[in-house]
Amino acid sequence: MNVAGFIARRVAFNRQKSFSRFIIRLAIAATTISVTAMIIALAFTSGFQYAISQKIFSFWGHIRVQHYEPDKVAIAEEYPIDKNDTVAGLKKTVPGIRSVQPYATKNAILKTAESIEGVLFKGIDSSYDTRRMSSFLKEGRWMQFPDSGYSNEIVLSTYTANQLNLKVNESILIYFIQNDGSAPRARKLNICGIYKTGIEDYDKMIALGDLRLIQRLNNWSPNSIGGYEIFLEDHELIDVANEAVFTELPVLWNSRTIKEIYPNIFDWLSLQDKTIAIVLIIMIIVAILNLITCLIILVLERTRMVGVLKAIGAPDGMIQKIFLYHGGVITLTGIILGNILAFTLIFLQKRYGLIRLPEEMYYISKAEVKVIPWQILAVNAGTFLICMAVLLIPTYIIRRIEPVRAIQFK
């Protein structure tokens, strides 16, 4: 029979009113709040990072392939390259690639009778998978591509449409800036859709249209493009896939991850990991301090019991186990209740979006949550192991208790 466990259960589940009972409940509540806070913080941080990175990946892909031009900025027009069957077929040769899609960009100015607005016109073709951007489309539809010629449709951002006071199905005059210094070339395009990513830099800058229009304006051949956007099945493989892609490229071609092209946003997202680490450390310290305080009070309140056990020959190690078991019950109860409370709050946030955010500052309109199983297991296991290891410290008080004085203790 496990004597230490038996006594610990009798003490832990004693229904008599006492000060220690209040302290135990307080310790359980503190552990519950700490575990809840850690799980919630991880879920919200993971959801925040995932939601924003997926917006960027959905809009630009994970890897960009272009002609090697190290001195050009990210929003500059591309040097033309010819379509390459090897690159277009990377989906078959590099594991983890979902699609490879051509694109090109061109600087332009949108003009109405009252106002003008500069944009970067991004040209795509009929093979472009717009389903991954379906959440961005707020009004209308994506472009339709005719079999010949080019589409005379354009998709604007809500910001640009509001600035120019434009709506779906209206026409807009767009002037394309020519690189050779000649006069801008004008086209009249119909607004077929309006999108919003919530990322201000993109919404202020990008308009979507037909790649063939850019080819015609630049006097390119139908085989010329600005580059390829490569989309992956898993963004965690982005660096490995980029290395594999680079080895397959023709001479003077280069591949870069979207993290390298737009480092400011991803550096900002990485800072969240440091913040969450601080939160986890603080919450674990709070749980530990509460449990240590609780266990010290339990030992002091049960001093006479300790004295009696020592008097009948119980070794210090067994008596320590009694209080460690008791601390274990408190810790496990707090962890279980913390998980229940955390997942309830996560469910409510996912279902009803209770916590809203200013999209112009955080790029998302509500706090997103994402539960990563190994993180939850790490929080639970780490909290339990760390707390139990630290709880060994107050149990050493037991070794200093003298049986005669303890029995007389009131």
In 3-state terms, what secondary structure has residue 358?
Answer: coil
Q: Are 215 and 104 in contact (CB under 8 A)?
A: yes
Cα 129 to Cα 135: distance, rounded to the nearest angstrom: 13
Q: Are 103 and 81 in contact (CB under 8 A)?
A: no
How many other CB atoms are found less than 10 A from the CB of residue 142?
19
Phi, psi (rounded to 5 degrees) for 58: -65, -30
Cα 320 to Cα 309: distance, rounded to the nearest angstrom: 11
Measure the CA angle with vertex 224, ends 221 and 225; round to 5°: 140
**257-291 pLDDT per residue, tens:** 999 888 888 888 888 888 888 888 888 888 888 77
Tokens of 387: 């707390």
Q: Are 31 and 294 in contact (CB under 8 A)?
A: no
The pLDDT of residue 283 is 85
Mean pLDDT by 10 residues, the chain (410 residues): 60 58 80 91 91 89 88 73 90 90 93 88 91 90 91 94 93 89 89 92 90 93 93 91 92 91 84 84 84 74 68 70 78 92 94 87 88 93 86 69 58
Count CA atoms closer than 13 A to 295's CA, side-chain side: 31
Which residue intervals of 97-234 are DSSP H helices?
Answer: 158-164, 200-203, 211-217
The pLDDT of residue 199 is 86
Pairing label, strands 224-225, 81-82:
antiparallel
